[in-house]
Amino acid sequence: MLETGIKSRIVEELEKIVGSEYVSTNKADLYIYSQDMTPAEQVWPDVTVLPDSLEQLRAIVALANKEKVPLNPYVAGGNIGGVAIPLKGGILVDLKRMDRILEVNDTDMYALVEPGVTFGILKAYLDKHHPDLMYTYAFSPPSTGVVTNALLQGLDNISFRYGAASNWVSGLEVLLATGELVRIGSCAVSNVWQALVPMPELAGLFLGWQGTTGIITKMAVSLWPNPKHSAGLHFQTKDLDGAYKLLKVISRTRIPDDLIGTSFALNKVSMLAMAHKKASLYPAVTPGPGEPEFTISADISGNTENELKAKLKVIEEVVNGLKDDSIVVPEPTPSSKAAFPMQALAVLSGGGGLMWVGCYGPMSTWLETAIKGCELQDKYDLSRSCYTRVMNEGHFVGLRWMIPYDKGDPEMVKRISDCCDEQLDMVLENGYIPYKTPVWAVRKIEERASPELLELHRKVKKMLDPNNILNPGRWGVPQE
Amino acid sequence: MTLNDVKEWLYGCSHCGTCKDVLGIFVPSCPAGERFQLESYYPSGQVFIARAVYEGTLSLADDDLRDRIYACTGCLSCQQQCGVYHRDHIFEIVEALRAEAVTQGFLNPAYMVLIDSLKREDNVFGKPKSERGDWAEGLGLKDASKEETDVLYHAGCMLSFEPELWEVPRSVISIMKAAGVDVGIMGKEENCCGGRLYEIGYLGEFTKYAEHSIETFNSIGVSKVITSCSDGYATFKNLYQQVDIKKKFEALHVVEYIDQLIKEGKLKLTKEVPMKVTYHDPCHLGRHMGEAGVYDPPRDILNSIPGVELVEMPRSRENSWCCGAGGGVSQSDPEFAMWTANERLKEAKATGATALVTSCSWCERNFKDAIEEYGIDIEVYDIAEIVRKAI
């Protein structure tokens, strides 16, 4: 909490920069920014400001750096990790007004966007102006920020092919806490933002850092040809062992665009949500007699119908090669691509809350980790809600147990928090590392990381943000 | 209605932001959020405010906070976009906040004229009740309070007291006469429906108006009450269900009635009306009616007029952008109301239409005010005015 005198001065300066209409100290605004869908502790910013341009943003950052006041970038706040909660208060910079799509390069297949551009805005723009190109979308609402999703290394619906969202960043413009504006990638030396290579890959100073080392003011992200033909295959398995076999064997074909798995119990609960009813995981719903434990879904595309058919045929052959009578190759259904970005109804219908231990880890320990995570849900009488996505053609896996919950029910909040605590310890034991990492998980990761790595984090943070103003309290926290 | 009455819905929102844009085309859906940009103005922000007020974290004594809850136009577009279980109750939550503010004595000065006027003159404009039927001068209409009549035409406050719009009710009467309808009006005995009172939190006063209107309509023995006011229509159809008096009449909007008359062959539209028009769906005629939203009748009417070419705006039917006048906003923040209208007029203009046609007098007034303020070159008509040209 800022001292009254400093706060008044800062508010006055902010109003000069963006106009009083776009500065708020009203408690209603600050209350909304003090929290997110998770049970993370509420922390209120002192003031929120909504810049419309790079010039305004630069002036805000200069002010914060001069006054040594925390400055927290924000777009939609839907990260399920408390990442946008201003841990030390200060200025919350809501970037939603900086929402311009600056360029779509059809030949080089990238979009250059400002930080406020959402999945929805980009989808609408591409549909209208570049229908042959597509972006990839997360299992999240349309209001999700394109830049923040990439910055936080999210997993999207072509992550099977290309890995985490930070992998398709092809250029960055970053505003440092000290005021410098830096371009990284080909854009640093030309007007084309086609790739980060071949230069020292300084993007790593910013990607995955949760806005603690700089504010992204422009980002180029890859686009892909929109496939003309696509289909979905939904396998059902009686146990997680069967799911594991399928994930491995389908991964090795390198065929799908997307390969995910979900607990069948989560699907059952989701049916309520789809009917606009409250979806509670408690008490646990278990699969009935003959019902599967898990669903594996592969999204497949082709330039021609023949290519699509050939790909489906290959999947059929490798799955039949498992010689497991319990796994039946399903009939293809329409691809789920068209539904993205989606309302993500099911996981947002628990009563305002959504929590998970979401992590990336090796395929080699997937089965053990998935089973233990589900067993912990059993322990807390929660429906199994495992969700997994194979990344980068099987080189690693995204895994989480999605827990919608009622924020107005303290007993439920405690139940899910305790469950997630145990799941976090378990996944770390199994080599899985939380992504979009909540601060409580950052601290646990730091306990396991080498002191040398933590020192490097601190040095990077100190170099780029000497006054520790950018989203402080997360990665690279100065040593006490 | 108190926040306790809606507590079941207070925790439904996760602040996912889906309500901010129209699904599929991802263009803005919430006027207040789009205009003011602060999270507290968006639907999710309103629900969060309600939650915090309910829990005692925020107070309605805060003037700036109350500005936010009165900025909602009640267009219900958020309810159309939201996929979560509380979706049908978002505006109820806003109304509960407003009612709570009134109960706690935090009255909005912008509504004082309206409230006072209703108490004294039974209309929202502070005009003498005796002038309410002036629009019908010279038409020789039956006084439904004295003479037996089959159909009662209820002009509503806006059309009764806004001479610039009198062409609308007069067109309606011409149409009905052309179709041989036995129609009468209440003239100076007509009252406000009370709907605006409900939306700004004066629930007790609303109930009095509802009871009075139902009892009056029942007592004069009409079979149908036809109105040009979309707010009034939604009030008759929806809000009056909260009053425990059986209605002995059927409430219809003019567009429904004209559509019926055309389809029954009682009204012939024969004259060429060479116009390229786009149709604006009033929120109270559309989303406020839920699955009974009146979307097809106005389009069927326009498509049945020789020479009329109807083109659609990207945000139409269930996804229509609000005109900005609803929910008490035209009284509390006319500048914002006109900004919202102008956003719609720009969208209408972009279709290539030369005229925007609507079927709500509040929408029409607000659009005309916005044209005067912002100068966009497009004409605005009530649908009855277009139909009349075709007779």
What CATH number is associated with residue B315? Answer: 3.40.50.11810
> Which of B6, B16, B25 is the best mutation test for A, with the most CBs of A within 10 A?
B16
In the three-class reduction of DSSP (H, G, I as helix; E, B as strand; rest coil), residue A125 is classed as: helix
B25 in A contact zone (CB under 8 Å): yes
In chain A, which residues have their Cβ closer than 8 Å to the Cβ of B83?
273, 276, 343, 345, 348-349
Q: What is the dihedral of CA A231, A236, A240, A242, to 10 degrees?
A: -90
A19 in B contact zone (CB under 8 Å): no
In chain B, which residues have their Cβ closer than 8 Å to the Cβ of A75?
none
Specify if A443 maps to a domain. Answer: no
What pLDDT score does A344 carry? 67
The count of structural domains within chain A is 3
Kindly tell me the burial class for residue A182, based on how many C-beta atoms sit within 10 Å of its own C-beta (0-12, 13-18, 19 or more).
middle
Specify if A253 maps to a domain. Answer: yes
Q: Which domain holds residue B207?
A: 110-261
Structure tokens at A247: 């994930």
B106, B134, B163 - which closes a domain: B106
Q: Write the residue in B14, B65, B83 that is nearest to A276 by C-beta.
A: B83
A434, A454, A470 - which closes a domain: A434
Q: Write the residue in A28, A78, A345 that is nearest to B40 by C-beta.
A: A28
A52 in B contact zone (CB under 8 Å): no
A339 in B contact zone (CB under 8 Å): no
- Same domain, yes or no: B43 and B97: yes
Q: Write the residue in B14, B26, B83 that is nearest to A352 by C-beta.
A: B14
Tracing tokens 């309600």 back to the chain, one arrives at: B50
In the predicted model, is pLDDT for residue A343 greater than 80?
Answer: no
What pLDDT score does A342 carry? 78
Instruction: Name the residue of chain A whose CA is nearest to B14's CA.
Output: A352
- Same domain, yes or no: A334 and A317: yes
Q: Write the residue in A141, A278, A351 that is nearest to B16 by C-beta.
A: A141
Structure tokens at B367: 């659009």
- Same domain, yes or no: B26 and B102: yes
Partner-chain contact B84 A345, CB within 8 Å: yes
How do residues A365-396 score in pLDDT, each as one tens digit?
999 999 999 999 999 999 999 999 999 999 99
How do residues A268-278 score in pLDDT, each as one tens digit?
888 888 889 99
Specify if A472 maps to a domain. Answer: no
The count of structural domains within chain B is 3
Q: Which domain holds residue A277?
A: 229-434
Q: What are phi and psi of B153, to 5 degrees?
A: -95, 120
In chain B, which residues have their Cβ closer than 8 Å to the Cβ of A131?
none
- Same domain, yes or no: B67 and B193: no
CATH of the domain at B197: 3.40.50
Tell me which residues of chain A, numbers 236 to 295, contact chain B at a CB-CB cutoff of 8 Å: 273, 276-279
- Same domain, yes or no: A171 and A213: yes
Q: What is the dihedral of CA B262, B264, B270, B274, to 10 degrees?
A: 30
Asked if B328 and B322 count as a contact pair (C-beta separation under 8 A), the reply is no
- Same domain, yes or no: A140 and A46: no
Partner-chain contact B21 A27, CB within 8 Å: no
What pLDDT score does B1 carry? 85
Specify if A455 maps to a domain. Answer: no
In chain B, which residues have their Cβ closer than 8 Å to the Cβ of A141?
16-18
Mean pLDDT computed over A326-330: 94
In chain A, which residues have their Cβ closer than 8 Å to the Cβ of B13?
352
Per-residue pLDDT of chain B (391 residues; tens, 9 = 90+): 899 999 999 999 999 999 999 999 999 999 999 999 999 999 999 999 999 999 999 999 999 999 999 999 999 999 999 999 999 999 999 999 999 999 999 988 999 988 999 989 999 999 999 999 999 999 999 999 999 999 999 999 999 999 999 999 999 999 999 999 999 999 999 999 999 999 999 999 999 999 999 999 999 999 999 999 999 999 999 999 999 999 999 999 999 999 999 999 999 999 999 999 999 999 999 999 999 999 999 999 999 999 999 999 999 999 999 999 999 999 999 999 999 999 999 999 999 999 999 999 999 999 999 999 999 999 999 999 999 999 9
Q: Write the residue in B15, B18, B88 that is nearest to A343 by C-beta.
A: B18
Partner-chain contact A27 B13, CB within 8 Å: no
- Same domain, yes or no: B129 and B221: yes
In chain A, which residues have their Cβ closer than 8 Å to the Cβ of B36?
21
B351 to chain A, closest Cα gap in Å: 15
SS (H, E, C) A346-403: HHHCCCEEEECCEEEECHHHHHHHHHHHHHHHHHCCCCCCEEEEEEHHHCEEEEEECE
Tell me which residues of chain A, numbers 132 to 161, contact chain B at a CB-CB cutoff of 8 Å: 141-144
Q: Write the residue in B11, B18, B36 that is nearest to A352 by C-beta.
A: B11
Query: CA-based angle A76:A77:A79, to the nearest 5?
Result: 115
- Same domain, yes or no: B82 and B15: yes
- Same domain, yes or no: B306 and B246: no
B315 to chain A, closest Cα gap in Å: 13
- Same domain, yes or no: B281 and B385: yes
In the predicted model, is pLDDT for residue A345 greater than 80?
Answer: no
CATH of the domain at A172: 3.30.465.10
A42 in B contact zone (CB under 8 Å): no
- Same domain, yes or no: A240 and A195: no
A50 in B contact zone (CB under 8 Å): yes
- Same domain, yes or no: A397 and A333: yes
Residues 6+ positions from A284 with CB-CB distance below 8 Å? A265, A377, A378, A381, A382, A383, A384
How do residues A79-104 score in pLDDT, each as one tens digit?
999 999 999 999 999 999 999 999 99
Asked if A336 and A402 count as a contact pair (C-beta separation under 8 A), the reply is no
How do residues A166-210 score in pLDDT, each as one tens digit?
999 999 999 999 999 999 999 999 999 999 999 999 999 999 999
β pairing state of A133-134 and A224-225: antiparallel
- Same domain, yes or no: B120 and B83: no
Specify if A447 maps to a domain. Answer: no
A350 to chain B, closest Cα gap in Å: 7
CATH of the domain at A356: 3.40.462.10
B107 in A contact zone (CB under 8 Å): no
A455 to chain B, closest Cα gap in Å: 36
A338 to chain B, closest Cα gap in Å: 10
Partner-chain contact B84 A349, CB within 8 Å: yes
How many beta-carbon pairs under 8 angstroms link A with B?
124
Average model confidence (pLDDT) across chain A: 96
In chain A, which residues have their Cβ closer than 8 Å to the Cβ of B350?
none
How do residues B169-179 score in pLDDT, each as one tens digit?
999 999 999 99
Angle of helix B254-263 relative to helix B167-178, nearest 10 degrees, comes to 30
What pLDDT score does A340 carry? 82
Instruction: Name the residue of chain B whose CA is nearest to A48's CA.
Output: B38
In chain A, which residues have their Cβ closer than 8 Å to the Cβ of B27?
124
Partners of B250 in the β-ladder: B224
B64 in A contact zone (CB under 8 Å): yes
A44 in B contact zone (CB under 8 Å): no
A353 in B contact zone (CB under 8 Å): yes
Specify if A460 maps to a domain. Answer: no
Partner-chain contact B20 A143, CB within 8 Å: yes
B54 to chain A, closest Cα gap in Å: 11
B26 in A contact zone (CB under 8 Å): yes
Distances in whole angstroms, Cα of residue A141 to Cα of each of A66, B39, B201, B318: 37, 16, 32, 20
Partner-chain contact B87 A276, CB within 8 Å: yes
B350 in A contact zone (CB under 8 Å): no
Q: Write the residue in B27, B62, B88 that is nearest to A124 by C-beta.
A: B27
How do residues A222-276 score in pLDDT, each as one tens digit?
999 999 999 999 999 999 999 999 999 999 999 999 999 999 999 888 888 888 9
- Same domain, yes or no: B211 and B299: no
CATH of the domain at A77: 3.30.43.10
A338 in B contact zone (CB under 8 Å): no
A29 in B contact zone (CB under 8 Å): yes
Partner-chain contact A37 B18, CB within 8 Å: no
Q: Tell me, what amino acid is at B148? A: E
A129 in B contact zone (CB under 8 Å): no
B208 to chain A, closest Cα gap in Å: 34
B38 in A contact zone (CB under 8 Å): yes
